[in-house]
Structure 1
């Protein structure tokens, strides 16, 4: 069977089920099992996709003729059981109860013959129906039309959604609980909604037909099996190990009945219809049972997280199957032939089923289903209201234009549409904003608050205060039980440390290497641990840290393509996980936080550089101020830019009077002339013993060095003048020269005295000897005494010269007189 409407074939839906391959023998190793399972899934998936694509192409190339009448076999002839209103049969005058004898003069006995005749004629052909109405023969001309199969496109879209979600969950979280089971359910659902036989019933069409039958019978059992074991096995499944196989017995029994009916019994339209009704009832019963199991498990769930997991899975399942059952299955069971918009819309709701369950497996949390459900309801109602108001405004404005300006014609209608679109856009935004505020209440407000808070973060330059405000605001807004911020200490490879935390008391070292490890989840903007005590992919030390932290979400904060921090968050205070909107909001905030952290670090680094610069500046100034020579610097315009304290003392001019003044105004013309003379030449120039007149009227003798003041790139930016005051040194040098002269005189006198003493001693000795010999001669004796006295006088003069020339000093000290005597 198929969901599509074929001529005289009632709409129904049969799906195929992909059962698990039989368990491999115990001798198979795990690697072989994995390869076998992957290979089988790849073959079945590719085969199903190929069949679905070919079936779609064939259906497009092969229009099915349709006469709008449901003919059933009765007493060896075809009787009109139902006639579609405004259909080809109704327009030709066919009434329920009419008996069809011939079509185009060809006798008919069963529905198969009618189908062959209709296919032979084709759509848009005129066919003569020979009828009997209450024993009255009559002929009706019926113009066949192509069967309405637009519903098949909607069903194929649902099938593609099932397959895409199943593949996404399997490839991203193939180790998650029930992910393989869920993919098989999605693959079978793809076959159910994508396989639609055309009625040609050739070999390919029979393959599509039986694939659809198997999928129809297997999909409800797979769904009931899934809801009975996810997120954990129900109690009745634990107590009765044969409960799971029992789910598949009704489908197996119906398949056997279907095969037997088509092979052993005469294939009539009534038989096909009864089989369809039986299998539709089977589908509805299993869907309702699955919803009942979810509702019962939700009400009996004791754990908050389990209750939250089941909350929206239950609601999503009920929302998906209720419209389908009431607006599709029940009308089909009642024999409705037409495909109306309500029936098509009810099929779309089936897309919520894989979306809800797939996200539950992928994240092992269901807060997002709350979001999906609310958004779907909110924006469906809002869109309907907006569309109604929009077209009403177009109609009103068009009527006004047509009334006031009758000659406007189509141009007036176009102008009405343009004006309405321009005027209605603010109204649409207002309705959407009010809907957000009404349905999301505090969430709407705190999201706006957090985004504004993130934009203002960069204004805080103190890193510690900024991190404290982030932790405080996020913990109070999202109501999480614990939170932490980890900062990187190095660039390559990054190493993280705990910088700020909330609701946590940690002791000992933490191995945070798992934050810097590359992982595929990083491309999603965050990585998530559904169970912090079970992370087998991490290293043992990292497992202990993750369990100790108990943070489920780690969101990187990036700046300039580099991760500089991580936001770590746990569950809410009620034990729930965050919704995807919360996580997306945090990912948006993480960009602001990363920029704010980088700005705070740059500001801190800048403060350190400024402090270091000030310290070096003070150090250099202290060096200049501490040296005992005068130092001044002039710019290229010869204005004084620096003047140290030694210059103040030496030149008797305060610093404030010297700075920024031209050199020619401060120094005498003689010095300025010498400065201009040497500044024209490169290199260092010296002025020795230059006599510099000071403003105080003194004259200082200086040694001056004039050198160019250059940058690191050797660009001249001024001149440096160093003045060494040597006035006192020159005076000391003069005194030293005089002392040297006196010392030379003393040495000369000592030498002369020594040379003179010798002849004086000889003269004195001989004079004394002659004086003794001439004692009897008074005249000669007096002459000899005079000679002796003059020699003593000359000797005393020489001794005085010797005493003057001696450099040794007199030293008084204690002596032992006894030893001397």
Structure 2
């Protein structure tokens, strides 16, 4: 499963959806045939396959075959003059027989051609339709496991237990539809179906057993992996031998058939025993309550399963074809239903997340259908012509409409779903988002912690919050100023450093720490107990410049609900903003402590350089590099590269007016808002609008920010550019260089209505061997001793002559040339530029 965890959550969800659709199709085909096209027709006989056809083993006394005169030992050769013996393999005889019967209309008799003691006879049998309750019960069992497995896997695709349970549901769906071979009443036997259904059966029983070795408690023993692997291989081999023996591929051996019949029951029984043993050991009351439902589900469902085995597999209980005898099998469904009921009742998973997506999809679907009907009606009313032309025209228009309005409709649908269906969650998310906007502007670490504690507890209804601080400098500042009454906000550092450091040793993702999640971790038991003592169920790390400085630890919600994926994303944003606020607060403290302006400028310069991208993440088909040459005195230039996914990258270059530490601090705040906005919006224009909205009242009236943002999208090979008063983009796609001068004014100058109406987003094609040059005015306005400006002509000349060179070489040549041009003149402004080659 570690291989799966290397994939993103969206990729895993796509995989889960794909497998589920595949499973639904393979379940749906026999179900459709059983209900509509090939309903089961029976004759009250129990038969066995022989080369000539089917030999009768039992005749139900008083049944239709008994009344027709059929006897035990008769061999059925044909029905209605259609031979049932297969030329390929006698195993197909049974399926051929039921296919012929299903085509007989109700109320008519079937003519059986039989051999009795070597004499051929024709017998008329009044066959009848029969509702095969066992088939539909096991089909429902498989569908239930598949549906619940889908919910679990889709909600938490990264967790091992969720992954195993999804596979359990997936294989259960495939395996249960064909359990005991009833699917072949309706479906032609072929290799494809055999492989899928057979693998589904055996893997379901093996996964069922394995699942309860790790949930609700993990069974640890020496050579665990080796023993489990060997056991699974042995069971798999025995099961397959029994299966092929049952098909007649191998010589019929009673022992092999017994293995085939007894192994599933044995693995299920062993899994239930492991579960009950784990259940007895668990002390946590909430987990026990949820597992108690599953426990009773096993008890009730187990009774149904035992009845099925005794009556229909081992035939210890004598029965006839009366459906009432099959009715007790239905209680087998208590097993998957108990899992589902437990999940919903105790809110173990974020089922609201899935329901919300379903609602959003439904709104979009309704919008699309209504739009299509309106367009079709308008076309039919206005235009005349063939139906085909009208239909094609309507299809083209609806495609254009969907493409142009999808983002808007999708966002509106999400807001509607949040606002009206999940009002409580919508309100607290809105409150927290508003609070995150304030965080970067709080300049006191103690104030940040206390405000954050109060805000999160009030909005999300969380029982307890504490901060684990792993950085001595931050810890010292906080401890000096923290109100003694708020001492519980700081986790005991001495005992918790090791526990939380180990949690974030390999990745920087938030950690869900409910009891069953905590057991999955590789922490020693004493460190697990430390986390249990803190009553922490979610830990979100705080990183500054790729350094772990601590974590915000959250207790359970008062509502008892689990933290949803959206909750965790929101708290990640909160942690990011907290990190920025921590950094800003630390800078301000240092600024106050410094007495000399030169020391202040040097500190600010280091911070400014530290905020620039340390490593440029790779995007296929793009070569990106940048440079920042700070002036002697600190300015407000910066560039950033934000990787959205494997094929999209945001490139940002900005310049904050003014100089010195105020400009650097503004730059830090602007960059924080940029990070926040880019997490929500993906259009350069929308990001700039949000940034202007957030900083308009935060900058003093003499300050403003110019910025250019470009979105490189390799999915569609396009670039989208929007500039807020910044230098135009210099680009070349065909040897000739041009300036892209989209409309836009500086950030923080005008209110949003004016800013938005004057902001333009331009779209360009990404072509091979293209080059894009983003820069601040510090480059073109660099002066030499003669007060001459460097200008753009020199840049174009270097880019033209060296466009085939690697990106880093071009950067070095521009840096060298501008340094040479300045000569002995002092650099009076920051020089920042970014080059992107395609």
TM-score range, shorter chain: 0.3 to 0.5
User: What is the TM-score normalised by the length of structure 1?
Assistant: 0.41
User: What is the TM-score normalised by the length of structure 2?
Assistant: 0.40
Larger radius of gyration: 1
